[in-house]
Amino acid sequence: MKKKVLDFYKSIQPHAYHIEDAAMDNRIRGGKDLEMFIRSAKMLAREGVLTSSRPDVYRYEDQQHEEYEGIYKGYRKSYGFVIMLDDEDIYVAEQNKGTAMHNDKVRVRIVPSDYTKHKREGIIVDVIERANETIVGTYDRQQHFGFVVPDDERIGTDIFVDLKDTLDARSGAKVLVKITKWPEGNKKPEGIITEILGYKGDVGLDINCIMANHKIPFAFPKEVIEASEKIDTIVHEDPKRWDLRDLQMVTIDGEDAKDLDDAVSGRKLPNGNYELGVHIADVSHYVTSGQPIDNEAYKRGTSVYLVDRVVPMLPEVLSNGICSLNAHEDRYAMTCMMEIDDSGTVVNYRIRPSIIHVGRR
């Protein structure tokens, strides 16, 4: 039957034709033959042999098509666009997205279109790289199986979950599901629930979902915790460091900041100029390049401030402790001392490791 469908569309190329009209032209009126005829057309479309710019309308183009790589951006559960880095975006109809999911890297083939306002339309012929290894959604338990409905409608599909892989979640639970099998043909993706984020009404549930959606890790790996516990948190005298503990200085971090990184000092010099000191917490004294703490900090990139909590870049013994310029405590820092004249011009500066003592926040 696939050959019959293909031969027909080849015979009318490059024109588009509704599949039921094509069936009638082939003297197929109904029943199982019609079902098989329609199914064959859909299979050829999924294989990229036929193209479709609207439901049940197909065409065959016996020519080389332009193909591009880009990021597929879904729109709810319908159409989407392939976003190009330095070219015009490509519209993708719902029936032409194949198994692509929101944010996947895909290869798209340009197809002629008579029915849309978009300059370029395409069909996704390959998913190069998957983007959504984990998805946040609502669990719906059925009698013999369950599935997760993604919070982000742009994902475009529910995720099937076997009852043995649900962590005993109840229907309505907000969960984090890990994809174990990507969609194929008309089959939905499959996954396992790795975390129950909470239930409706739970305090902090919305924040838990935000963290999971943006892949913000709260707990530190075991090896990072172990490494942080071995750090010497005593500030020792060091002749290689500039001792600036006699200077009056204050931190300038935000009012709600948990880790204090920056401090300033200032005084007038005997020659009439001014000395401005900028003091930055010397994290590198405690965090060695390539070691577990450094690697984890690199992954996190920054501390994240949420409504009810802070997710630090470094373990708390560092971020809120020895690497934070807390008032009335000695700390290691990197200091830039600048001499500034009356016009505001920096006439001299020095940069050195230092020991400082912040007076006030």
* Model pLDDT for residues 103-123, shown as the tens digit of each residue: 999 999 887 765 667 778 888
pLDDT of residue 116: 61
Assign 281 a pLDDT band (cuts: 50, 70, 90).
very high
Query: pLDDT tens digit string along 201-254?
Result: 999 999 999 999 999 988 999 999 999 999 999 999 999 999 999 999 999 987
pLDDT of residue 178: 97
User: Angle 292-300/222-229 helices, nearest 10 degrees?
Assistant: 120
Distance from C-alpha of 99 to C-alpha of 121, rounded to nearest angstrom = 17
Distance from C-alpha of 166 to C-alpha of 161, rounded to nearest angstrom = 7
Q: How many helical (H) and strand (E) elements, i.e. helices and strands, does the chain have?
A: 7, 21
pLDDT of residue 63: 57
Distances (CA, A) of 26 to 3, 6, 31: 12, 12, 14
Query: pLDDT tens digit string along 130-172?
Result: 999 999 999 999 988 999 999 999 998 999 999 999 999 999 9
Residue keyed to tokens 């032209």: 25
Domains and CATH numbers, the chain: 2-59 (1.10.10), 67-129 (2.40.50.140), 134-213 (2.40.50.700), 227-357 (no CATH)
* Helical (H) or strand (E) element with 149: strand 146-150
Pairing of strands 190-198, 274-281: unpaired
Percent of residues, the chain, with pLDDT higher than 90: 63
Closest by alpha carbon to 318, among 246, 252, 258, 275?
Answer: 258
Contact 193, 176 (CB under 8 A): yes
Distance from C-alpha of 78 to C-alpha of 308, rounded to nearest angstrom = 35
Distance from C-alpha of 356 to C-alpha of 337, rounded to nearest angstrom = 13
Low-confidence winner among 33-47, 145-159, 329-343 (lowest mean pLDDT): 33-47
List the Cα angle 40/46/49 in 5-degree steps.
75
Average pLDDT over residues 255-276: 90
**What is the average pLDDT value for the chain, to the nearest integer?**
90
Distance from C-alpha of 352 to C-alpha of 361, rounded to nearest angstrom = 23
